[in-house]
Structure 1
Amino acid sequence: MTSRTLYLFGSAAPPVFQVAEVIERAQADGWDVCLGLTPTAAQWLDESLDGLADLTGHPVRSEYKLPSEADVWPKADVILFAPATFNSLNSWALGLTSAFVVGVVAEGIGKGIPTVAMPCVNAAYASHRALDRSVTELREQGITVLYGEGGFEPNPPGSGSPKGYPWDVALEAAKQKADKA
């Protein structure tokens, strides 16, 4: 059986600290996983980056490659962007691609790469109108955004539990999206 490739992207939100467990679960389901992080998420996981690269068998990326450099990842069958922060979601919806992972998902829309996003925002961020506009914009462009009932639901600031982040929902949605492609 040929494995499919999952690009797992994460922003700097507490559930990113569970990424090794998520990679192992995805691999157990037959995925070849490539891990991409926002620069801040990479900074948070700095001491784990070599181990995460060993776990996936691919370099962990948080920056754009130079035009002269070869692409070191296989082609994605699906992208899962989780946790996706307020900043990442709004940047993506607006097409502001200074962060590598945001650039890949923005370009992925035009390339037709099946993509799932699951936010991780607290209720204070969720009350900002920009979030709803961004979620709507991304959904209108074919992105599955797992936000609200059946996906991620915001908690009051400071009360969230990274252990309560619905990773199973995100992984299942990515699998379903890839199966339909």
Structure 2
Amino acid sequence: MSRTRVLYIIICAAGPARDAVRLVRAAKEQDWDVCVIATPAAVDGQFIDAQELESLSGRPVYSTWRRSGEEKRIPPADAVIVAPMTMNTANKWAAGIADTYALGALTETVGLGLPVVALPCWSTALDVHPATRRAVEVLRSTGVRVLYGEGQWMPHAPGAGSEWLDSYPWELALEAAST
């Protein structure tokens, strides 16, 4: 008997995070065992509804490291989705900075050779910064499938993020993680 596939969904503090329940719900419909990890900013800034995510996934939403001596809280992942991925997360992750539980999990998954999908969320003003472009290149070079570019995800105009929140392509990320 095979075990249920485990999907880590890592959520950053960006507008689409409010609808992360859509991704969790869709993953559960595909029989994934979902573990939600949120950046501290996503939790503290109330970008997510942690109670609803916990209810849907059947697991707590984690945003902090486990304590010394505490047993592992979640099973090993079979795939990882980071969505929405902010510029801050992309840059830190590409630089190997693991100063939060979410970044630590992301940094480790690359080394484990897991399928990792990143669905960015930033403005055109942030997109032109050289660090952003370098981060995308570095992440792709490590095997991360960054859904960025024509036909995938494109940055929004500064201040216009709320206009496209409903069309954030959660399904692209789940499809990419499932293949």
TM-score under structure 2 normalisation?
A: 0.93
Give 4+ residue runs of structure 1 displaced > 4 Å after superposition: none
Corresponding residue SS for 1:81: strand
Equivalent position of 1:81 in the other structure = 82
Q: Tell me the CA shift for residue 80 of structure 1.
A: 0.2
RMSD of aligned Cα (Å): 1.4
Q: Deviations over 1:1-35 (max 9, x none)?
A: 74211100011011100011211111011111110
Q: How does 1:131-146 map to 2 (within 5 A)?
A: 131-146=132-147
Structure 1 unaligned regions, length at least 5: 177-181
The answer for the alignment partner of 2:116 in structure 1 is 115
Equivalent runs, 1:27-66 vs 2, <5 Å? 27-45=28-46, 48-66=49-67
* Cα pair 2:22 2:170 within 8 Å, conserved: no
Identify the residue that residue 166 of structure 2 maps to in structure 1: 163
Q: Which runs of 5+ in 2 are unaligned?
A: none
Aligned pair 1:172/2:162, yes or no? no
Take 2:48 and 2:151, find their aligned partners in 1: how far apart are those partners? 33
Paired residue type of 2:133 = D
Q: Which residue of 2 aligns with 1:147?
A: 148
Structural mapping, 1:13-24, within 5 Å: 13-24=14-25
User: Which residue number corresponds to residue 126 of structure 1?
Assistant: 127
C-alpha displacement at 1:100, in angstroms?
1.1
The answer to whether the Cα contact below 8 Å between 2:39 and 2:63 also exists between their aligned partners in 1 is yes
Amino acid at match of 1:111: L
